[in-house]
Amino acid sequence: MAEYVNEEAFFNAIYNFQIPEIPSDTRFWMIRTKKGYFYQEFLEKQFVALAWNNITKSTDFGNPESLNDSILMDYPEIKRPSLVINKCKNFINEISPNDILVIPSAGSKFITFAYAGEYFEEESKTVELEQTVINRIEHGEVVISEVACPYRKRRHITIIRTIPSDIVNHHLYKAITSYHGISNLDEHGTYILDHLFNYYTYKNNTRFVFHVGKTDPITSKEFSGFLYNANVFLTAIGIDDSAISTQASVQSIGDIIYNIKDLGQFLSDNYLWFIAIFVVLGGGKFLTVELPGLPNIIKNILSISDERKFSKEKLTEKSSIMLFALSSFKKK
DSSP string, 200-267: EEETTEEEEEEEE---SPPPHHHHHHHHHHHHHHHHHTT--GGGEEEEEEEESEEEEEEEEES-HHHH
**pLDDT above 70 covers what percent of the chain?**
58
The predicted pLDDT at position 166 comes to 85
Highest mean pLDDT among 12-26, 110-124, 161-175, 282-296: 110-124
Q: Which long-range contacts (CB under 8 A, 24 or more apart) does 67-75 make?
A: 74/127, 74/131
pLDDT at 275 over 60: no
Q: Which of 191-200, 287-296, 310-319 has the lowest mean pLDDT?
A: 287-296
pLDDT digits (tens, 9 = 90+) for 211-222: 666 666 666 776
pLDDT at 103 over 50: yes
Separation of alpha carbons 302 and 297, rounded Å: 9
pLDDT at 252 over 50: no
Any bridge partners for residue 119, and if so which?
Answer: 155
Q: How many CA atoms lie within 13 A of 247 on its CB side?
A: 9
Helix (H, G, I), strand (E, B) or coil at 165: helix
Helix (H, G, I), strand (E, B) or coil at 314: helix
The predicted pLDDT at position 300 comes to 45
The predicted pLDDT at position 20 comes to 82
pLDDT at 305 over 60: no
The predicted pLDDT at position 298 comes to 41
pLDDT digits (tens, 9 = 90+) for 9-68: 555 555 566 678 899 999 999 999 999 999 999 999 999 999 999 999 999 998 888 899
In 3-state terms the chain splits into helix, strand, coil percentages (rounded to 5) of 45, 25, 35
Closest CA to 177 of 86, 107, 91, 100: 107
Average pLDDT, stretch 63-85? 91
Average pLDDT, stretch 177-206? 86
Degrees, nearest 5: CA angle 135-125-68 = 70
Separation of alpha carbons 239 and 147, rounded Å: 55
Taking the alpha carbons at both ends of the chain, their separation in whole angstroms is 20
Q: Which of 40-54, 103-117, 160-174 has the lowest mean pLDDT?
A: 160-174
- Annotate 116-159 with DSSP letters as a single string: EEEEEE-TT--HHHHHHHHHHHHTT-S-GGG-----SEEEEEEE
Residue 318 Cα to chain centre, angstroms: 30
The predicted pLDDT at position 72 comes to 93
More confident residue, 33 or 286: 33
The predicted pLDDT at position 253 comes to 54
Backbone angles phi, psi at 181, to 5 degrees: -65, -35
More confident residue, 192 or 311: 192
Separation of alpha carbons 285 and 290, rounded Å: 5
The predicted pLDDT at position 248 comes to 67
Separation of alpha carbons 48 and 193, rounded Å: 20
The predicted pLDDT at position 91 comes to 97
Average pLDDT, stretch 132-143? 92
